[in-house]
Amino acid sequence: DIQMTQSPSSLSASVGDRVTITCRASQSISSYLNWYQQKPGKAPKLLIYAASSLQSGVPSRFSGSGSGTDFTLTISSLQPEDFATYYCQQSYSTPCSFGQGTKLEIK
Amino acid sequence: EVQLVESGGGLVQPGGSLRLSCSASGFTFSSYAMHWVRQAPGKGLEYVSAISSNGGSTYYADSVKGRFTISRDNSKNTLYLQMSSLRAEDTAVYYCVKGIPGIDAFDIWGQGTMVTVSS
């Protein structure tokens, strides 16, 4: 099975900051990497699919990049509603697998 | 509106059984593979099970293999997860999820149903 490792596990930032979250796969997954946002008590929400494609309705301040084993999620200018937990997911092979999550908190 | 609504969660004793249901609307249910993902309290996301669009192919995580059964009724637009021999470590919110064909990104999630295994 493919292991996904996110860093950092938690992050404190301020409104307006540029933030980057990293996800690394234990083997190459091409561009089969997706990013989700989850707020407390809510289901995850798809932000980015296929490494860099923005899901419909997601603000353009979110972007994704990478291929192979190393990927990043960038939020260009943090907004108050962006404070949440973020997960990466590989869908290259079954079983799909998630990173452990990155909790983004207000500084 | 595209929607997934889970039901059937609750409190069950260790060794007991429970059946979760997921009612789909707003899309052609029979055209999509469907999945179950769970999240233990305060923990991350764990992929549990999947079923192909016609029900002919299924997948189970090792942690639930032999104890859980996924199925679907395309005439009723409903996905099921039959859970038996439940353990404390199965305690979680269970999400019904629709994937994007070909890339298996999960674009539609239900609200989740809580399963608590405790005596």
Q: What is the pLDDT of residues A50-92, one digit of tens each?
A: 999 999 999 999 999 999 999 999 999 999 999 999 999 999 9
Query: Is A94 in Cβ contact with B44 (below 8 Å)?
Result: no
pLDDT at A107: 87
Which residue of chain A has the CA closest to B98?
Answer: A46
Rg of chain B's alpha carbons, rounded to an integer? 13
Task: Answer whether B44 sits within 8 Å of A101, measured CB to CB.
Answer: yes
Contact check, Cβ <8 Å, A49/B105: yes
Q: How far is A102 from chain B (nearest CA, A)?
A: 10
- A56: closest CA among B28, B105, B19? B105
Measured between CA atoms, the residue of chain A closest to residue B112 is A43
Q: Verify whether the Cβ–Cβ distance B109 to A95 is below 8 Å.
A: no
Query: Phi and psi for B67 in degrees, rounded to 5?
Result: -115, -30
**In this structure, what token pair is assigned to residue A5?**
């490792």
Q: How far is B44 from chain A (nearest CA, A)?
A: 6
Q: Do A98 and B47 touch (CB under 8 A)?
A: yes
Would you call B110 and A43 a contact, using CB atoms and an 8 Å cutoff? yes
* Chain A nearest-CA residue for B4: A43
Rounded to whole angstroms, the Cα distance separating B9 from B70 reads 15
Measured between alpha carbons, how far is residue A50 from residues A21, B74, B100, B101 in Å? Answer: 16, 28, 11, 12
Q: What is the pLDDT of residues B17-67, one digit of tens each?
A: 999 999 999 999 999 999 999 999 999 999 999 999 999 999 999 999 999
Closest-CA residue of chain B to A53: B105
Report pLDDT for B113: 98
Average pLDDT, chain B: 97
- Kindly give the residue spans of alpha helices, DSSP state H, lying in chain A: none
